[in-house]
Every structure is written in C-alpha cells, then in structure tokens.
Structure 1
Amino acid sequence: MKPLKKEWVVLLVMAMLLSFGIAPLASAAEKEAPMASGTTYVLLYIDKPDAFLNGKQVKLDAPATILKDKTFVPAKFLGDAFGMKVEWNDKTRQINMETPTHNIMIDIDNKSVWINGYWMKFDDVAAIVNGRLMIKLTWLADYMGAKYTYNNELRRVEVLHVKTPTGIYDPNRGNSNPVAKFTFAKPSYKIGEPVKYVDLSYDPDAEGIQRYEWTGKQEAFFTPGTYPITLTVSDIHGNKSETYTRNLVITNETYLSAIEYPIFMKPVGSFIKTDWSMLWGAFWELPQLPKTVSEDRSRKLLVSDSPETFTERGILYQDEVEGKGRLYADHVNGTKEKLSLAILAKNMTDKPITIKTTNKGEVWPSVYANLIGSEATVDFLMNDQINDTMTIPAHQTFIYKQMPDFYPDQGVNLFYDVETDGKVQFSFVVDREISQNSQTLPLLAFNGHVRGSFPVSEMTWKIDASSFTQPSRLVIGDGITDPFQPGYDPMRKKEVKNDGNYGVIYKIHADKPRKMAVMILPKGGVYKGPFKINGDIRLAPESGVMTAFDGMQILAKTTGKEDSLDIEFSPPAGSALPIDLIFYPLDERAE
C-alpha cells in the first residue's frame, strides 16, 4: 500500500478534528433512549451544499459527490441524522462508527477499514474529499439499514432511515433493564438556590431501583451557566439503565451566596467547611453583641488542674468550703504506675457535718484528653438532679469521692456541686491506695495551668438578639471581653486567675430572639465540647474534634417565634479557647 505523504496526513487530521469538533454546551440536548422511533428523511444534492433533513433546509460543509461512478455521502452528517455514533478518537487517530449491528473503525493513516473486526480496503468504502470523510452510499445504506434512491435528472439522493428501537427486556434472563429518568421542579434556578430533583426512574419488572449513580448533581450552583446532570440506575439484579442526561440552567440572579447557603439551608448540627479566605473575609472580626453580665458568687469554685500531669503521689489541691461549693479537677497520670484519684473531705468543726451533692459530671479514665473534658461537661450540663448525702463526724476525714484506677497517660475530669452545713476541707489526692492517711501526703508543687479557689462559679449574660441585622458574635474565653475570674490559691498563698474560666457555667439568655442561626467558631485551637440550648444537649462537633481550620458548626436555629433562647456552656477540659458564638440573621429563605 502506498503511504500518504506526511504533509497530507497532517492536513487531513486537522480537517478531521474540525469536522468532529465538540458542540457548545448550550447545544447539548437532553438525552433519553427513545421507546419508539420514526422515519428520518434526507435529501442530498450532488456537489451542492444544500440539503434537507426532515423537510428543514441545512447547509453541508461536505456535499454529496460522485467518484468513479459511485455516489459518496458525508459520513458525519448522515450519522448524526440517523442517531449513529460517528466520532474521531484523538489517541488512536481513527474514526469510530457504531450502528445497531456493526462496529466500524476507519484508519485513515493506514487506509484501512475494520467492520466487526474484519478488514476491508479503504478505497472500497470511503474517500477523503476536501478534508472530509465521505462514505460510499451503497455501503453506508447496508450497514446503517437505510434505503435510498437516486434521481439522475435532479442529481439528487433521497435517503430514508427508520431506526429500530432497542428494547430493554432480555428474554435470556427474563428481566428488563431499569429506566433512569428525572426532571427539575422548574426550568431554571438562581445562583445559590436549592435545586429540586424529581426522580422519575422506574423498573418495568416492579422490583424497585437499588442504586442511583449521579454525575454533576449538586444541592445548589454558584456560577451561572448550563450544567449537564446525568443519572444511571441499577435494579436488584445489577442490571443498569441507559444513562439519562438533562441540562440544568443557572441564571445570573443570586438567591444565596456560597457563604450564606449552608447557614440558611443546612440543619442544626451540620458542619460548615471553611477556608482562611472565607473566615478572614466574613467571620473573623464580626461586631460583638452587647451583653449585660451578672455573676453568681453564692458557690465557691475549687479548681484542681496543677500539676495537670502529675509525676508523683501527693495532694494536688486543698481548700475549704462552707455552704455551697463546686469541686473541679482535671488531671493526667504522668507516672509509670497505676494510681487512684480521690477527693477527701475533712470535718473542720466540733460537730457532725452533712455534705449534700446536688449535681455531678464524671467520666471514666481515658487517654483522650478532649473526650474526658467533653463527656464530663455533658454529664454536668445534663443536671440530672441527685440528692446524695454524707455525714462526717467531728474532726474526721472521709473519702468523699474516689475515681476508678487510672493507668499511665490516662486522665480524668470531674465536677461536683456540694452543699455543706459546716466547714469542710476538701483535698484532691492521688495515691496507690486511698485512705484517710492520704491526707498526710505531701503538697504537690504548682507547675502551670490553673489551681485555686474562685468566688464566681456561674455567670449570666443577657443579650438582645431580637433586632440585630448583621452577623454578630459573643466571645468566650479570650480574657479580655470575657475576663478570667480572679481567685486565691491557699497552697501558694497568692492571688491567681482562672485562665479559661474552667468549671464556670455560662448562662446566655435572650428574650424574643429573631430568626437566626447560632454557630460555634473555635478560634483558640482544638475544640470538643457540649452546649445546652433550650434544654437540649448539642455536641460540637458531633464526633471527633474541630478547629477554625476545619470550619464552623450550626448549634441552633430560631424561627423568630420563640419566647426566649437559653444557652448553657462550660469550657471543656482539654479544649483550647477562645471560641466565638456567631449569631447569623436569617429570613424567609432559610429552611
């Protein structure tokens, strides 16, 4: 076979690429395998670009022609008209054609044609005219199943084709393929508007659809344009449908921005992914909601958090309570042995004293610092009312609470609200065996974190969330807008600060809140902890941990019809502060 000249091959390939170009997206039609078919009627005029397709005039870039007394017709035009696949494969540099019964591959470089794997001479089948592929009419009619007549007087070719519809029932397996189909609830959508997909798929055998495979499907789109959405479904036998495609039009009008959409549309508990650009631009320095702060000084708070990781046995913290108190501890076993943590209660008076426990937050020992802080706080915020009592004879020491043994690197976190009718010395001790004699262990040195007794154990913030119109925030635990509570460490005999306000309960109250979303943004670092919102416990996050790098979580949404919004919170041990509570105004677009 005589090889083609290199220059001719290059020009030919360029011409073929143009003739098999990709149609603009806007012209892409919605595709569905038809159940029924009709007649396609084509009129071609020899050596004239004018043609008619089903009565409509069209212009051809490659008109029909006669070569060596044989009529050749444009392959791509007729293939498209008859619904046959005719496409250029750039990798193999070949043309692929598919008819209902034949797979045809045309190799222009090597002047070969392969039909269902059998070779034919190129010149017997095709020709290249002005860079366009032309197919011999008689050959094309045979393989496409078309009928044709030639009018010599008018130099016109008439081609009739009836495409045989492909059924979906397979008698060999006694089962039909399912049918994929869907539509949209309306013809077009705005930027950021939730798209409603209406599923119309079905299984002719009434066995149901087992699997849906979508491409391009999104809840909403944030750039205008036309988007092809495809669906393929499978039945319980694994039989697949033909792929169905429908084009979705997104207009230039905006419904919700990409930032607004998840806040308005996602339910409570949802996590909103962010990046630094979004955080800095939209959430980092929001205005703060004004608040009125009141402090509850009726309950003394004892905080034992230093040494947080202890390396020897001894007394971690010790102070007295007379009346209401809150006992808070957070410690990690930094020794190489199994130890026990306990709280000893010593009666400092000459008469019996009763200790009543009214609330508690406990957690089993764990190496997961964020877990123990979150779980103990959940337990405490649940506020399951208890009424445990213990009576201690005069000048006696009892074990008030003893935690399960914890092993090296395990930690514990605990809260106890107590009421005493006399002066009681509470000692947080760690020892191999806990007894009254543990009261004589050495006092362990402070090495950072928090240790001391604080007069404030609860704060109430009253805010006006009824009429604000722009995203706003409350900052918790920054030490500036939310000052750290002052106290005193009797073991060191010095004034101290409760950095982080650990053990303090925050109660945030708003009357008649507007329609809004409340979100948490953990700005200090790794965070895991609960909130109690109108009586319901909300975990942030619902699993794992979160940071500002990860994003925000929706804690609550109000409808604008509630009498009040009440949020209870306590900084969880193991989590970093500050955090921002973001109050984001919503309107009728919100779900």
Structure 2
Amino acid sequence: MKRKYLLLFLSALLLFSIQLPVHAADSANGLDKLELTQGSKIMVHNGKTVTATQPLTATKGVSYVAARSIMNEIYGTIAYDSKSKLYTLSNGINEIKLLAGNPSYTLNGVVKTNAGAPYLLKGTLMIPLRTVAQSFGLTLTNLPKEKKVVLTWASKPVANFSVSDTNPYAQQTEVKYTNQSYHPSGLKIIDERWENNNAIFDQAGTYTISHWVQDERGTWSDPYTVTITVRPPNQPPVAQFNTDKDTYKMGEFITYTDLSTDDENRIASTVWTNNERGFFVAGPQNITLTVTDANGAVNEYTKTITITEETHYTKEEFDLLYTAIGDKFGISGPSVLSLPKMPYSINDRQQTLIRANSPETILEEGIYYEDTVSGNVRFLLHNLNGRSNPVKIYVLLTNENAETATVRMGAKGIGGPNPIVSQVGRMVTGRFLESVLNPTYSYLQIPAGESRLIFQEYSDKRVRPGDVYSMFADVQMNSNLKFQVIVVDEHREVMSMLPYLKVLPSNDRHIRGTFENANRMMYVNQTIGDVKSRMILADNVEDTRLTGIDKTTGTSVLNMGNYGVLYTIRLSNVQPHTAIAINPRGGHYAGAFTINGKVVYATNDSILRNPNEVGMLYKSGDTVESVDITFTPANGSMLPINLLFLPMPELK
C-alpha cells in the first residue's frame, strides 16, 4: 500500500516538472529560490527556514500548498471577501481570483481551470501549487528522490521610465524623466544610474537614454533605454503681410494678404491689430500682425499705410457694401425710428404651440406644465437651473385613449446646456431652422393606457447649476395625448418620482401656456429697397401677440414676444442692391433667420448688443427679387426687432 501511494506522489510531481518562463536572463544573479517538502510545513527561502500554516499536501494527484504562506514568500498578497467568499491573490503584476471548492478561477480577468479545486484545511486555503507557479511566473522543478519541489523566480529590479518629449529642440526644450521602475518581488529600490538623461540637449542628433536601478539586496537591473531625436533649435515664425497698395482714400476697401511663414509650417496663432477694412480719418495708420508658432515663439510685423483727405465711401455706404452676411456694423439707433414703416398683412395658420417657460428658473423638482393636445404641436422649453445640483428635464406623453396612438417627431433644435443665455438662444434657434429645412422624422407608438418619454436626446443631458437649456421641437399626434414637462434631480428615476411631484405655479414675468395658430405668414407687396424703410416685428402693436391659456389654471395668457411662433415673411418686390438687416429695439439679440432657404445667424460669432448695432442678413443682386424670410424670436433675447431695408450704393 505504501508503495502505491509513493508511486501516486511521484506521478503528481512529474506533472509539475515543467519549465515556466523566468523574468531575467541572468539566473545566477537576483534569483529567488523556495524549497518545499511533501508532507512538511518547512519551507526554505534563499537558505532561510520558514514554517507554513499547513504542509505541502498531495490530494488526488495534485499538490496543494497553503495559499497565504506561499504568497508571503513570493512577496504577494491574499485577500478574502466574506460576502462573495472570493479569494484574491496578487503579486502586484498578476492577480488571480478563486473560490474554495471551485476548480475555475480567473487570471487577470481571464477564466482558467485548476488541476484540482482549492479547499480549506483547518481554516487554511489550500491551492494547487501549479496554479501559483503558472500565474506568478515561477519555475517549478521537482526532486523526486528528495520528495522536494523547488520554485525559482527572477527577482531583479526592473528599470523603467517615461520621457516628456522624445522629439525636443536643442538648447530650448526641457526634457523631464519620470522614473517608473519597480521590483517584481516588492523589494525596495535603493539606487539608480542614468546615462544621457540631459534636461536640455545642446546639439541636435539621436541620443539613447539608459537607466539602471538597484534593489535593497544590491542586485542591479538590466538597462532600460529610450531613444530620442533632438531637433535643431526652433526658429521663430516670420510675420509678414502686404496690402494691395500703400495709399487709400477714406472709405476705400483694403485687402490684406497674410504672407507669414514658419520653418515647420506650424503657426498656431495669428492676431491682427488695426486691420480695419477701411479707414475714415485721414493720416497714417499702423497695422500690426503678430504670429505665434506651436512652440510659443512670437514674431510681429508692422506696416504703415496712408489715408488721404479724399472720401471714397461714407462709413454707412462702406458698411452696407462690405459687411459680410452674418456680421454686424454700427448704426444710429434713434435714427432707425424715423424710417418709414413697411406695412404688411398677417395670415395665421394652425399650429399648436406649447410654451413651457414659467417658472423659467428651476428652483424645485416638479411638473412645470401639462395639458392634453393633438395634431401638429410645437414645444418650446427654456429654463435656467437655479438649484444647487444638476437636473434633467423630461417630456412625458400619456395615452388615455382606448387605442394605440402614433407620434411623429420632426424638426428639432436644442441649445445648451450653457451658462450664456444669448449663446443658447442663438444656437437653439439656428438649429431648429436648419432642421425645419431638412427634417428627420421618427415615429413612436404609445399603447392605450401607457406613457412614453419623448425627446430622449434632450433629456439625456444634465443641466448644471447656472446653465440655460432650450429646445424647439415639432411633433404630430394622431389623437389626444396628455403631456407633462417634468424636472427632477439628475440621479432621480423620473417615472418612480412622478407620483410624488406636483404642478408648480407659474410666475408673473415669464409665460407658459397653450397657444393656437402659431405659424404666422406675413406678406409685403410694396416695393422694397427704393428708399430706406423698416418692418416692425413682435412689438404687440404692429405685430400682435398670440393669446392662449395656461391649462393648469385655466388663465388666459399673452405670448409675450411671440416666442415659439414660426414667422414666414414673403417680400415680393425687392429692388436690386438692397441690404436686409436685423436691428434689435428692446436690447440684446442673438438668433437666426432662414433667407431664401439658407440659415443666417445674427451674428456669426457675436450678438447684437443694443439698438446701435445691425446684423447683415441678405443683399439682393442685380435684378428685382422675391425674398422669403423664416424665423422664430430667439429664446433669451429681447424684443421687439426691426427688419431694415437699406439701398446700397453703387460700386466705384
């Protein structure tokens, strides 16, 4: 019987007689050695005797070792999670996770299978020795005659580092080196040696940086090297430009040509000073161009031109001719009021408008508006988060009918979240108008008695404290559906919160309500552009406001500013060379307009700050034209506004 067990033990040892890869080529230096004896708790580590909690044990042809004892000797750790009953063994590089009684385990997240299942022996986790060897890079050698198993592993320190710039400039770039060396067995690094780790290199060329580290036992690592290519010193860019000539009349257009260069063609910044398109004061004018390359080197060039006493164009004529579409120019705000008013006829067309804009400032969670609507519906949502934590805004549709309802979602524009209200208003308006030109439709089925959230893209965004968030969206409903505009803190689940939310009261300043006939057609048949004139919009005198009802209270309301109303203005007789511009009369304005099928922002990169500024929208050509203008008053902007029709001067 004893002979039978001895043969079984020797067979198990033969299973372990495999050579696993070591961490270092030089096995004579920095090599750890651990000897284990079958049936014994004694372990000999680098000549020092230590005692394991349980002996090396052969069970069903598999040798098991006390997990905590061997992990201590290979400088690893073992942790136990009492809830999951999961053991985690790690040497700082590799990690295995296993359960007692389960032959499967994971190595760095990859599922593996043990030769046998780990088990508990008097409270000690016993793990197959081969699993430890294979997982942590140990070489396992058996000595059958001595009933011993020898584990060896490289324990040299490993040198490593990163370089802040592998392509620095000679004499200019400071190179920084980050030491990332470590010891696979957890020993301390006590010394290091470098070659060529210069902070600044004097000459261009290729350099090899080498690094060695020494551990607390005196063992040196193999070298770790990084090769860098040092470029010649960076040359600053050369700022240069010219003008089409050196002497100009007052109000004559100036063409600037940037001729700046850089040795690496990496000019990162170009800043002009006093490069006006035209000047209206006689005398010398200094124009400066400053350029900066990608490395921060700066150069500038100044040229002086002469402006004569002769006038080519007045300032007003010049601005009308040379202001680009989407840009702005100055005007005398009071003088606009003296321009004749262009009469127009109004034809409102059916479109339900939901304006959920009150309370505009979000101070509490709740239902911000609700009603039951059908047909073509436009939603206008515009809010500022005044809470101390982020929120999300939802639109919920509920089908209280006996049959499934169909909802078609079409044109939509979203602006924000962003703390700058004018930027949000400009973007939401422009995006909505662009979507109106090329709508993308999607469909939603809502079964009888069920609810669905719509505008998921809008609801997905978190609105931080101080942010403004806006949306225009057109939908079509084939039956009456109840909608609710709901605001909850970002981590709340809206449907589970809904039973606890109340409809919040409106306030005096901002408007919410349901309005009909929210598509407004305006027709101008008179000649436009023969004289200066203006068209007054959203003033509640010439252009009256829609009336509606706040369905949460049954109160009649006026749509102040007609926000959410989609205007279409048809100008049937626009004279050649007529500029059409937008002038704010109530304060600042930042929005967008569709002119003959093209969206124009007012303005491209700024706002109209007050009545003394004008945004260029369109310039007619050489013949009489019909011009169609579509817009909706921009959220966050001030009304009323005027469209200006200004004859342009002849080109000289």
For Structure 1 versus Structure 2, the TM-score category normalised by the shorter chain is 0.5 to 0.7
| 8 Å CA contact retained: 2:244, 2:254 | no
Q: Aligned in 2, Cα 1:399/1:257: closer, same or farther, shift over 3 Å? A: same
| 8 Å CA contact retained: 1:308, 1:332 | yes
Instruction: Give 1:204's aligned residue.
Output: none
Q: Which of 443, 447, 460 lines up with 1:393 in the alignment?
A: 447
Structure 2 counterparts to residues 59-78 of structure 1, below 5 A = none
1:427 equivalent to 2:479? Answer no
Q: Aligned in 2, Cα 1:433/1:563: closer, same or farther, shift over 3 Å? A: same
Instruction: Give 2:561's aligned residue.
Output: 500
Instruction: Give 2:62's aligned residue.
Output: none
Instruction: Give 2:592's aligned residue.
Output: 530
Instruction: Give 2:620's aligned residue.
Output: 558
Q: Which of 450, 453, 472 lines up with 2:511 in the alignment?
A: 450
Unaligned runs of 5+ in 1: 1-177, 202-211
Instruction: Write out per-residue CA displacement over residues 198-236 of structure 1, whole angstroms, 9 at most, x where no aligned residue.
Output: 99x9xxxxxxxxxx999999755556x7x45789999xx
| Secondary structure in 2 matching 1:362 | strand
Instruction: Give 1:261's aligned residue.
Output: 318
Instruction: Write out per-residue CA displacement over residues 498-518 of structure 1, whole angstroms, 9 at most, x where no aligned residue.
Output: 001111111111124212111
| 8 Å CA contact retained: 1:512, 1:563 | yes
| Secondary structure in 2 matching 1:438 | helix
Of structures 1 and 2, the one scoring higher in RCO (CA 8 A, sep 6+) is: 1
Superposition RMSD in Å: 4.0
Aligned length: 393
Structure 2 counterparts to residues 397-546 of structure 1, below 5 A = 397-402=451-456, 403-404=459-460, 405-431=462-488, 432-435=492-495, 438=498, 441-448=501-508, 449-464=510-525, 466-514=527-575, 515-546=577-608
Query: For 1:213 and 1:491, how far apart are their aligned partners in 2?
Result: 55
| 8 Å CA contact retained: 2:603, 2:615 | yes
1:284 equivalent to 2:337? Answer yes
Unaligned runs of 5+ in 2: 1-238, 260-269, 291-297
Instruction: Write out per-residue CA displacement over residues 370-395 of structure 1, whole angstroms, 9 at most, x where no aligned residue.
Output: 22222222221012322211111112
Instruction: Give 1:332's aligned residue.
Output: 384
| Secondary structure in 1 matching 2:534 | strand
Instruction: Give 2:309's aligned residue.
Output: 250
Structure 2 counterparts to residues 67-466 of structure 1, below 5 A = 189=249, 192-194=251-253, 220=278, 222=280, 227=283, 249-251=308-310, 255-274=312-331, 278-280=332-334, 282-297=335-350, 299-383=351-435, 384-402=438-456, 403-404=459-460, 405-431=462-488, 432-435=492-495, 438=498, 441-448=501-508, 449-464=510-525, 466=527
Q: Aligned in 2, Cα 1:182/1:306: closer, same or farther, shift over 3 Å? A: closer
Identity of aligned residues (%): 27
Q: What is the Cα deviation at residue 306 of structure 1?
A: 0.6
Query: For 1:455 and 1:335, how far apart are their aligned partners in 2?
Result: 32
Q: Aligned in 2, Cα 1:436/1:475: closer, same or farther, shift over 3 Å? A: farther
Q: Aligned in 2, Cα 1:436/1:397: closer, same or farther, shift over 3 Å? A: farther
Instruction: Write out per-residue CA displacement over residues 81-129 of structure 1, whole angstroms, 9 at most, x where no aligned residue.
Output: xxxxxxxxxxxxxxxxxxxxxxxxxxxxxxxxxxxxxxxxxxxxxxxxx
Q: What is the Cα deviation at residue 555 of structure 1?
A: 1.6
Q: Aligned in 2, Cα 1:288/1:381: closer, same or farther, shift over 3 Å? A: same
Query: For 2:385 and 2:257, how far apart are their aligned partners in 1?
Result: 58
| 8 Å CA contact retained: 2:511, 2:559 | yes
| Secondary structure in 2 matching 1:446 | coil
Q: What is the Cα deviation at residue 269 of structure 1?
A: 2.6
Query: For 2:271 and 2:637, how far apart are their aligned partners in 1?
Result: 41
TM-score after normalising by structure 1: 0.59
Q: Aligned in 2, Cα 1:352/1:563: closer, same or farther, shift over 3 Å? A: same
Q: Aligned in 2, Cα 1:346/1:246: closer, same or farther, shift over 3 Å? A: closer
| 8 Å CA contact retained: 1:517, 1:556 | yes
Q: Aligned in 2, Cα 1:433/1:372: closer, same or farther, shift over 3 Å? A: farther
| 8 Å CA contact retained: 2:251, 2:314 | yes
Query: For 1:350 and 1:198, how far apart are their aligned partners in 2?
Result: 70
| 8 Å CA contact retained: 1:193, 1:255 | yes
Instruction: Write out per-residue CA displacement over residues 468-516 of structure 1, whole angstroms, 9 at most, x where no aligned residue.
Output: 4221111222121111111111111111100011111111111242121
Q: Which of 629, 634, 642 lines up with 1:572 in the alignment?
A: 634
Q: Aligned in 2, Cα 1:409/1:240: closer, same or farther, shift over 3 Å? A: closer
